[in-house]
A = this chain, B = another copy of it.
Amino acid sequence: LKMYGEIITIGDELTSGRTVDLNSWYAAGRLTASGLGVIRVTSVGDDDQMVSKALKRASASSRFVIVTGGLGPTEDDMTCEIAAHALNRPLRLDTQMLKKIQEYVALRGMEMTPFFEKMAYMPEGSRMLNPEGETCGFSVQAEDVRFYFLPGVPEQTRHLMDTVVLPELLRLYERLPVVEQRVIKVYGIDEIRIAQRLRHIKPKTEGVILGFYPNFPETHITLSLKGSGEEVVTARLDAVAGEIKKILGAYVFSTQGETMEAVAGRLLLEKGVTVALAESCTGGLIGHRLTNVPGSSRYVEGGVIAYSNHLKTALIDVNEETLKQHGAVSAETAQEMAKGVRGRTGSHLGLAVTGIAGPEGGSKEKPVGTVYLGLSQGDGLYSKGYRFRGNREQVKQNSAAMALDWIRRHLNGDPFLPGI
């Protein structure tokens, strides 16, 4: 176990659930991707005793320890003092650090206070990670364990992880076993059914560790394989991924870890198809996701957030008669929205979503979660209804995912997922 490390994140905001711990998530992901194992992640509050315990335990079981939080200028930032005590290293004033802080404070026209000064005291033997930059952090070697202390601010932690900590660790542990990982992403079929369908491939996956992870509204299947010869490992994973893809078919939207919007975007770009959206219940979420992909302006025209019935008629030419007769949440309206937004924008493909996200607005025939999609391209005009479970946010998320799935399946010539 001595080859592995661990992560300790500090802050009352973590143990009280005010903040999601994105620092440990990021650090764990980067370390794993670099072939460095993470055996444990521990979060403790701004509490002398608990922080001290966590540091001592880590020094007994890990080779490297990433610690985040508690380095700032406010009163609850006490990591330096606690670390000094737990690692038996008295606090020492770092003059280089003091100078850096003084410059920082002066540059911003602020006043130098004892809180800022406090930030310049570090456990004896510490080394600043980033002496030139604005971000503070330090490392200290305690016997055969290397500690990295990083700030709690996610952007700063990420910056230091990527530019200093990882390169340093990789230099220290050059001969790590190669661990290759593949993520197969699936939409429209649940974890249990996937496991059932895959149970017969067992003999073909020897050595490959399979994991199944619901990742709402998707499911992710991970393949991991250790080995020192990279080519063999890659070929092995390719074979198993291919086998899984063969069994699950179009449920698989990526074997390369891509997002749904990246897959849809890649297909649109490859086929030279532009898309415009008519979003009702999703409120703009599909557009947001599609435009998260750099370069998406090459295939996303934009579209209309047709939230009110008025905008459905005024901006994308849905017939008032259709709304009256079938309702805003219907196959007919979804079709007219898709056709309308295509006509108004001149895009190749028009995609529409209209539904009841809740908690209000449901009826017996159309309960909360009822969502219709429409798609128009060339002479083709499609629509289908779905019923999603969950709260407002989940219905929106599932509706947007289904819309992205429609783009992929449509451009690949695969049938849409069956609806209601």
Contact = CB atoms under 8 A, between A and B. Distances in A.
A12 B61 CA distance: 18
A212 interface: yes
Interface stretch (A69-77, A138-146, A239-247, A262-270): A69-77
Given A305-B287, A307-B297, A72 B191 contact: yes
A181 B13 CA distance: 12
Nearest to A400: B288
Contacts of A282: 288, 291
A170 interface: no
A18 interface: yes
A310 B344 CA distance: 11
A11 B359 CA distance: 33
Given A17-B31, A73-B195, A345-B315, A42 B41 contact: yes
Interface in A21-43: 21-22, 24-33, 38-43
Interface residues of A, number: 111
A307 B300 contact: yes
Residue among A14, A17, A29, A290 facing the most chain B CB atoms (10 A cut-off): A17
Interface stretch (A81-89, A389-397, A407-415): A389-397
A302 B307 contact: yes
Contacts of A153: 191, 214
Given A283-B292, A292-B396, A111 B28 contact: no
Given A196-B113, A304-B315, A308-B301, A41 B14 contact: yes
A111 B196 contact: yes
Interface in A272-316: 276-277, 279-288, 290-292, 294-297, 300-308, 310-311, 314-315
A2 interface: no
A108 B141 CA distance: 56
Nearest to A280: B302
Nearest to A301: B308
A50 interface: yes
Interface stretch (A90-98, A215-223, A226-234, A317-325): A215-223
A214 B74 CA distance: 12
Contact of A279 (B14, B72, B287): B287
Residue among A15, A21, A54 facing the most chain B CB atoms (10 A cut-off): A15
A75 B202 CA distance: 11
A125 interface: no
Contacts of A417: none
Given A12-B224, A75-B210, A282-B291, 11 more contacts: A16-B29, A40-B54, A41-B43, A74-B211, A277-B284, A279-B287, A280-B302, A283-B302, A288-B288, A302-B307, A310-B345
